[in-house]
Amino acid sequence: MARRIRQENAWDDLSTDYLDDPPQQKTYGGALAHLITHSMHHRAQLIHMLRHLNVADVPEGDVLSWETEHSKGQSVPG
């Protein structure tokens, strides 16, 4: 869907989100941005809560940093 939106330059085209009460019009570009950033927002909230509770060794939460840290000593397939 994201490819089609890009190809058709439909970033500002509207769709109706019927999960909102009342239903709201939203842009396709905004919806895609929301999908990309939503999990990052919750990950940051959890990191903040864990640090506030003085949990030791809380990971940063950056996916690329996590992957690098956990792949040390492992060969890369390919």
Per-residue pLDDT of the chain (78 residues; tens, 9 = 90+): 999 999 999 999 999 999 999 999 999 999 999 988 888 888 889 889 999 999 998 877 677 777 777 777 665 554
pTM equals: 0.59
Cβ atoms of 27 and 12 closer than 8 Å: yes
What are the structural domain ranges in the chain?
2-70
Q: Tell me phi and psi for residue 17, to 5 degrees.
A: -95, 100
Q: How far apart are CA 71 and CA 44, in angstroms?
A: 22
DSSP assignment of 30-78:
HHHHHHHHHHHHHHHHHHHHHHHTT-TT-----HHHHHHHHTTTSPPP-
